[in-house]
């Protein structure tokens, strides 16, 4: 369902998409019909042969359970030669990286609604990979800086100056992952005989968050939006002046969507097995 909504974005990147499920063809056909069809292959693997071959069988499910055979949810990115170039998997079956976040991280695709802040030192553009979210989604937040010529900000690892940092406001329903910064450059400062790590020009910073599967108030009709406050700290300098450390406040807003909880008809559902496969 989510892949279908992002299908055109994958296509624009020259990417093909396929999904593999332990469901049988009847279940997948029912799901496809109920969702209005899919433009990508939805592959049935009821014996979990492909799932086992990829090493992603969910061993947390007992072998006599109806759901045994399901895969750990995730995504492989494969090149034209069939080589896996990256993979995205989460520890629990209720958490997963969204398709739009993968596109933003891997291929620099456009994300959701953009917020622009103009400062005296640079232009900041902030956006999430998408404008909506569900419980358990891992979503990428993006901060893009456009610095004018001769202006720089300090990168993590600098001493004696304030490096750029991204701090997401703490909340019990959020897991905050490590911030991903681009590679910095070493700048030599002749006046003080120092070499420091800096960013200049165009800078793209990625910050992933995961929404808890038990997001409070999620199922209440009046809770339709989630706000995620973020503080961006930095110290900017040009070729003449090193400015005082400063910070910006950015609030990302996500529309909350419900999960699809409908199941296939009883007669075609998975059945518990008394013997292992």
End-to-end CA distance of the chain: 29
**Residues 53, 94: Cα–Cα separation, whole Å:** 22
The secondary element (H helix, E strand) that includes residue 165 is strand 165-168
pTM: predicted TM-score of the whole model, two decimal places: 0.90
pLDDT bucket at 248, cuts 50 / 70 / 90:
very high
- Name the more confident of 190 and 140: 140
Q: What is the pLDDT of residues 141-171, one digit of tens each?
A: 999 999 999 999 999 999 999 999 999 999 9
pLDDT at residue 68, as a whole number: 92
pLDDT at residue 117, as a whole number: 98
Phi-psi region of 201 (alpha: psi -120 to 50; beta: other; left: phi over 0): left
Least confident of 83-92, 139-148, 259-268: 259-268
* Mean pLDDT, the chain, integer: 91
9 Cβ partners below 8 Å, 6+ apart? 99, 100, 103, 109, 110
pLDDT of 218 above 70: no
pLDDT bucket at 277, cuts 50 / 70 / 90:
very low
pLDDT of 66 above 60: yes
Bridge partners, residue 248, by sequence? 232
**Nearest to residue 201, comparing CAs of 130, 108, 122?**
122
pLDDT bucket at 221, cuts 50 / 70 / 90:
low
Please give the average per-residue pLDDT across 73-78, as a whole number: 94
Bridge partners, residue 237, by sequence? 152, 242
**Nearest to residue 78, comparing CAs of 172, 179, 171, 10?**
10
- Name the more confident of 210 and 216: 210
**Is beta strand 225-234 parallel, antiparallel or unpaired with respect to 185-189?**
unpaired
pLDDT of 1 above 80: no
pLDDT bucket at 219, cuts 50 / 70 / 90:
low
**Residues 211, 136: Cα–Cα separation, whole Å:** 5
Helix/strand/coil (H, E, C) string of 74-131?
A: EEEEECCCCCEEEEEECCCCCCEECHHHHHHHHHCCCCCCCEEEECCCCEEEEEECCC
pLDDT at residue 120, as a whole number: 95
Please give the average per-residue pLDDT across 20-46, as a whole number: 94
Please give the average per-residue pLDDT across 108-134, as a whole number: 96
Q: How large a percentage of the chain has pLDDT more than 90?
A: 75
CA angle centred on 132, ends 129 and 136, rounded to 5°: 90
**Nearest to residue 198, comparing CAs of 187, 182, 212, 209?**
187
- Name the more confident of 66 and 217: 66
pLDDT bucket at 124, cuts 50 / 70 / 90:
very high
CA angle centred on 107, ends 106 and 109, rounded to 5°: 120
pLDDT at residue 220, as a whole number: 58
Domains of the chain: 2-108 (3.40.30.10), 115-256 (2.60.40.1250)
Half-sphere exposure of 5 (CA within 13 A, CB side): 11
**Residues 236, 173: Cα–Cα separation, whole Å:** 33
- Torsion angle of the four alpha carbons 18, 20, 25, 27, in this order, in degrees rounded to the nearest 10: -110
pLDDT bucket at 189, cuts 50 / 70 / 90:
confident
How far is Cα of residue 220 from the mean position of the Cα atoms in its chain? 25
Please give the average per-residue pLDDT across 96-104, as a whole number: 96
């Amino acid at each position: 369902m989510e892949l279908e909504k992002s299908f055109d974005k994958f296509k624009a990147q020259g990417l093909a998409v396929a999904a593999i499920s332990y469901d049988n063809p009847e279940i997948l056909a029912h799901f496809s019909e109920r969702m209005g069809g899919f433009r990508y292959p939805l592959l049935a693997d009821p014996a979990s042969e492909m799932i086992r071959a990829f090493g992603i069988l969910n061993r947390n499910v007992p072998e006599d359970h109806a759901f045994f055979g399901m895969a750990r949810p995730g995504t492989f990115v494969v090149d034209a030669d069939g080589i896996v170039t990256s993979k995205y998997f989460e520890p629990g079956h209720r958490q997963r990286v969204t398709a739009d976040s993968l596109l933003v991280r891997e291929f620099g695709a456009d994300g959701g609604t953009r917020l622009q802040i103009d400062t005296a030192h640079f232009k900041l553009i902030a956006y999430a990979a998408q404008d909506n979210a569900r419980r358990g989604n891992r979503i990428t937040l993006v901060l893009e800086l456009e610095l004018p010529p001769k202006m720089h900000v300090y990168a993590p690892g600098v001493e004696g100056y304030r490096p750029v940092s991204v701090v997401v406001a703490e909340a019990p329903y959020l897991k905050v992952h490590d911030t991903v910064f681009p590679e910095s450059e070493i700048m030599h400062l002749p006046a003080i005989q120092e070499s420091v790590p800096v960013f200049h020009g165009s800078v793209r910073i990625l910050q992933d968050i995961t929404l808890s599967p038990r997001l409070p108030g999620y199922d209440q009709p009046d809770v339709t939006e989630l706000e995620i406050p973020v503080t961006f700290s930095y110290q900017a300098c040009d070729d003449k002046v090193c400015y005082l450390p400063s910070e910006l406040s950015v609030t990302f807003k996500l529309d909350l969507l419900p999960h699809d909880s409908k199941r296939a008809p009883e007669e075609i559902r998975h059945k518990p097995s008394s013997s292992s496969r």
